Structure 1
Amino acid sequence: MFKETIDCIDAGSEYCPCHLAESGDCILCSQLHGSCFCDCSNWKGVCIYQEFKYNGEKAKEGRKTFNCLVEEKLLYENDVLLLKFKAPHKLAIDLVKPGGYIFIRTDPNVYFDVPISILESDIETNIITIMIEVRGIKTKKLLGIEKGGEITIRGPYWNGVFGLKNIQKQKNRNVLIISRGIGMAPMMPVIQKFTANNNKVYLLLDKEPYKDNYVKEYLDKYNVTPIFMNTIDKGDISSECKSMINTFISEKNISNIHIAGADILTYKIIDYMNEINNTKVLLSCCNNTKMCCGEGICGSCTTRFSGHRVKRFCKVQADPRNVFEGRRFI
């Protein structure tokens, strides 16, 4: 019988057990679900149930809030904002991995915090760089942040990318990244990880809806030259993109494809990989789930699947194929 492999991004960390353990909704621990025997769905080397008992049957202390000095502010095209700010050293280390993100405070009401992925975390200077697409009420407030002022953030959070295990497996291989729009920002820690593990990175970059490549200076650090193209055409993957995927798989022996863009791009690429009957190439992608608390409590990140299954995607770490297969869009 096939058993889907899921993981909790916080399991075994300093933030585990969390508030889900208190309510009997722990993602991994069977005993915290009320079972009388131990049957962890994914052993992390730490007994969550034991940690919960040792901690007085309470959740560990959650993420902290930091006031950070803004070192640089750049505004592109009136709706793409780049911010650099000085962070505590430990926070910079915690956010250097793929999937790192933070919540930015825009209002005294903490429910208005905005989740933003990390573009770069420099552990030498402790400078964290983020790129924000200004769209809604909350992100528009971020335009008021100025150089020399303060930015209030909460973190670290780590589940900004699905398929982290697939990324970590890539060593001395050829990998392909397909990115569109603001997805160019959160793809950078993934590229950093790939190059650190001596992988050759190929990049298909769709600038739409923007006029320019705003991460060029960061790509140059890793000697990655993008191939510019239109990835989406009339709600499907463009024929040009399909052709390039086939070429890279057959000629470059690509072992992993990372998709950095909207869910429609990920969904269509998974469909296309199934269409060409290729399940050997591993996948990873951006986590575009709507989030509010980041702790699995508020429910804004929950997605329903066939079989009345509910997944909390601010914490659940899974393969992109499992994220999109059986997903209920209504």
Structure 2
Amino acid sequence: MREYIDCIDAGTEFCPCHLAESNECILCSQLHGSKFCDCLNWNGVCIYHEFINNNSKAKKGRDTYTCKVIKKELLEENLLLIKFLVPHKLAVDLSKAGSYVFVRTNENIYFDVPISILEVDIERDIIAIIIEIRGIKTKKLLEIEENGDITIRAPYWNGVFGIRNINKQFNNNVLVIAKGIGMAPMVPIIRKLFLNKNTINLILDKAPYKENYIKEYLKEYDYNLIEEVVLVQGELTEEAKALIKKFIKNEGVKYIHIAGADILTVKIIEYLDEIGAKDVSLSCCNNSKMCCGEGICGSCTVRFAGRRVKRLCKLQTDPRNVFEGRRLI
């Protein structure tokens, strides 16, 4: 069976990108060194035609914006909330599920850190993000001041794998499983599922945090909340397994969104295979290490069986295709 592959930027104002200039385009066979047309996925626009019409050059990349910070709050010692104003078009662009921005922490652009969008207020052009303070780059964000400036590079959209599976959910009974900082990028997914009139069941494990800090961002959506520990020492808990099995076997759930670390996604995929639920469609967080966001620097590349290399900052595919056949060494 042919693997479904798409490029998150295909058909947008940022396509063709620099990959096309070096015969590394994800979709276009001719811009991948082939002599004939056999694109992997049609997006309504011929990438090769766009490339030729643009004088065989890449389109202009993302812009950098300096935005005013209207709120900064340290929710816990290592958990930071920032809200800032953006141009209206950027607010609209970042309202899509899976959107994220690069936040600048140093004049050296290699210090930019990718952060998923928590919420977009399109009427007031306000973006909210929650950052887990971990290392050199994120610690610099503590220096940002309320009423000061924050510099971002945007928009980027590949913060979630399986977007096609999200978009296909209409009037269905769906399940969302979130843990830790995965709560933040989960909010736009909940919004999308709610607007598509789905019945949303949310299993939430707020650990290692003391509170559920995203509940106020979900208050306008209807969902069934179950607070439960889902992962202990790298393994699914028996309680989580029982809940997943109940929703699939008894309540007809055929779609699950996983918002958490890669280990959570891997363990859920393994459990679904174990209980014979391979037909359940999935989406999950894209936790790849990113630097440029354009498929150029190689920090997001992962090697798979057959010596295949995937640029996960741009590649859009099913979560099972990301975690099955992946070379860990």
**Common fold: TM-score over 0.5:** yes
Structure-to-structure mapping, 1:29-108, within 5 angstroms? 29-108=28-107
* Distance in 1 (alpha carbons) for counterparts of 2:78 and 2:275: 38
Instruction: Kindly state the Cα deviation for residue 225 of structure 1 after the two structures are TM-superposed.
Output: 4.3
Instruction: Kindly state the Cα deviation for residue 224 of structure 1 after the two structures are TM-superposed.
Output: 2.7
Amino acid of the structure 2 residue aligned with 1:12 = G
* Distance in 1 (alpha carbons) for counterparts of 2:204 and 2:321: 25
* Distance in 1 (alpha carbons) for counterparts of 2:202 and 2:27: 35
Show the counterpart of 1:130.
129
Show the counterpart of 1:154.
153
1:271-290 deviation per Cα after TM superposition (whole angstroms, max 9, x unaligned): 00011111221100000000
Structure-to-structure mapping, 1:169-248, within 5 angstroms? 169-248=168-247
* Distance in 2 (alpha carbons) for counterparts of 1:139 and 1:230: 27
* Distance in 2 (alpha carbons) for counterparts of 1:328 and 1:35: 27
Show the counterpart of 1:141.
140
Show the counterpart of 1:261.
260
* Distance in 1 (alpha carbons) for counterparts of 2:70 and 2:166: 31
Of residues 114-123 and 247-256 in structure 1, the stretch that sits farther from structure 2 once superposed is 247-256
2:64 aligns to what SS in structure 1?
strand
Q: Which runs of 4+ in 1 moved over 3 A?
A: none
Tell me if the contact between 1:306 and 1:327 (Cα under 8 Å) persists in the aligned partners: yes
Amino acid of the structure 2 residue aligned with 1:111 = Y
* Distance in 1 (alpha carbons) for counterparts of 2:94 and 2:123: 13
Instruction: Kindly state the Cα deviation for residue 146 of structure 1 after the two structures are TM-superposed.
Output: 1.2
* Distance in 1 (alpha carbons) for counterparts of 2:207 and 2:9: 34
* Distance in 2 (alpha carbons) for counterparts of 1:61 and 1:220: 39
1:280-313 deviation per Cα after TM superposition (whole angstroms, max 9, x unaligned): 2110000000000000000000000000000000
Tell me if the contact between 2:66 and 2:151 (Cα under 8 Å) persists in the aligned partners: yes
2:26 aligns to what SS in structure 1?
coil
Amino acid of the structure 2 residue aligned with 1:55 = N
2:218 aligns to what SS in structure 1?
helix
Of residues 12-21 and 244-253 in structure 1, the stretch that sits farther from structure 2 once superposed is 244-253
Give the unaligned 5+ runs of structure 1: none
Of residues 227-236 and 306-315 in structure 1, the stretch that sits farther from structure 2 once superposed is 227-236
Tell me if the contact between 1:104 and 1:116 (Cα under 8 Å) persists in the aligned partners: yes
Tell me if the contact between 1:86 and 1:126 (Cα under 8 Å) persists in the aligned partners: yes
* Distance in 2 (alpha carbons) for counterparts of 1:16 and 1:267: 32
Tell me if the contact between 1:219 and 1:225 (Cα under 8 Å) persists in the aligned partners: no
Amino acid of the structure 2 residue aligned with 1:155 = A
* Distance in 2 (alpha carbons) for counterparts of 1:165 and 1:63: 24
CA RMSD of aligned residues (A): 0.7
* Distance in 1 (alpha carbons) for counterparts of 2:222 and 2:214: 12
Tell me if the contact between 2:173 and 2:252 (Cα under 8 Å) persists in the aligned partners: yes
* Distance in 2 (alpha carbons) for counterparts of 1:188 and 1:202: 13
1:178 aligns to what SS in structure 2?
strand
Instruction: Kindly state the Cα deviation for residue 233 of structure 1 after the two structures are TM-superposed.
Output: 2.1
* Distance in 2 (alpha carbons) for counterparts of 1:213 and 1:223: 16
Instruction: Kindly state the Cα deviation for residue 161 of structure 1 after the two structures are TM-superposed.
Output: 0.1
* Distance in 2 (alpha carbons) for counterparts of 1:36 and 1:308: 22
Matched, 1:281 2:296: no
Instruction: Kindly state the Cα deviation for residue 183 of structure 1 after the two structures are TM-superposed.
Output: 0.2
Amino acid of the structure 1 residue aligned with 2:300 = C
Tell me if the contact between 2:78 and 2:133 (Cα under 8 Å) persists in the aligned partners: yes
Show the counterpart of 1:316.
315
1:70-127 deviation per Cα after TM superposition (whole angstroms, max 9, x unaligned): 0111111210001100000010000111100000000000010000000011111110
1:186 aligns to what SS in structure 2?
helix
Tell me if the contact between 1:170 and 1:255 (Cα under 8 Å) persists in the aligned partners: no
TM-score (norm 2): 0.99
Show the counterpart of 2:115.
116
Show the counterpart of 1:5.
4
Give the unaligned 5+ runs of structure 2: none
Show the counterpart of 1:306.
305
The alignment covers a number of residue pairs equal to 329
Tell me if the contact between 2:295 and 2:313 (Cα under 8 Å) persists in the aligned partners: yes
Amino acid of the structure 1 residue aligned with 2:183 = M
* Percent of aligned pairs sharing the same letter: 64
TM-score (norm 1): 0.99
Amino acid of the structure 1 residue aligned with 2:214 = V
* Distance in 2 (alpha carbons) for counterparts of 1:234 and 1:64: 41
1:212-253 deviation per Cα after TM superposition (whole angstroms, max 9, x unaligned): 100010121213342111111232111000000011112221
